[in-house]
Amino acid sequence: MADLQALAEALIKGDRNKVVEMTKQALADKMAPAAILNDGLIAGMSVVGKRFKANEVYVPEVLIAARAMKGGMEILQPALVAAGVQPVATIVLGTVKGDLHDIGKNLVGMMLTGGGFKVVDIGTDVPAEKFVEACKTNNAAICAMSALLTTTMPQMAEVVKAMKAAGLKTKAIIGGAPVTQSFCDEIGADGYSPDAASAVDTSKALLGL
């Protein structure tokens, strides 16, 4: 019988081949796809997130764990769909207009995916109207924005303004090296996260999960 704790540990180590094999084995053993996802893959990614937050592991380890998670998810996805397992919620994610930095945004996306969210990544240099349109089209619960330049931070305020003008109920969260909680309060965003792992906690807290 497949061992989901061992699956989580293989993911923490970033052992993609092992994660793929163990996910296949768990399905062959007729384990519930939701259990494989929650107690294996997401459990492992959540440990990686906590260690990253505590500076016990760094960007390369997170990328390697995310690659392993992706391998497992490719195997698991059809079974999840067949079992009717829904993602926790949908999050639209992008770097704001004028800003091309995407390394942090991509890490945030990986952590959110690892946290069970469906992430719609709309890229970099994204204008406010495109955030709004993507939130509407995808019925997003959260709109997540990244900015690395002090000069592009005001674009976050533009997105929040455009979301309010469009009457969206979608929550807005922001992050990136120059972004702070006080800036978040100033522009009326719903949440701020200092790092990729915290973005999962902030999103879950905002949705009462």
Strands 118-121 and 90-95, bridge-based pairing: parallel
Q: Which of 42, 140, 173, 187 binds ligand B1M (CB under 6 A)?
A: 173
Q: Residue 125, CB half-sphere, CA atoms under 13 Å: how many? A: 2
User: What angle separates helix 128-138 from helix 153-165, to the nearest 10 degrees?
Assistant: 50
User: Binders of ligand B1M among 58-97, rule CB under 6 A?
Assistant: 59
- The contacts of residue 81 (CB under 8 Å, 6+ apart) are none
Q: Which is nearer to ligand B1M, 137 or 150 (CB)?
A: 150
Region near ligand B1M per CB under 6 A, out of 18-26, 67-75, 80-88, 102-110 = 102-110
Q: Does 140 bind ligand B1M (CB under 6 A)?
A: no
Q: With binding defined as CB under 6 A, does residue 100 bind ligand B1M?
A: yes
Q: Are 90 and 136 a contacting pair, CB within 8 Å?
A: no
205 scored as a contact of ligand B1M (CB under 6 A): no
For residue 164, how many C-alpha atoms fall within 13 Å in the half-sphere facing its CB?
Answer: 9
- Is 177 a binding residue for ligand B1M by CB under 6 A? The answer is yes
Q: Which stretch binds ligand B1M (CB under 6 A): 7-15, 22-30, 71-79, 141-149?
A: 141-149
Residues comprising the chain, all counted:
209
List interacting residues with ligand B1M (CB under 6 A): 59, 98-105, 107-108, 144-146, 148-151, 173-178, 193, 195-196, 199
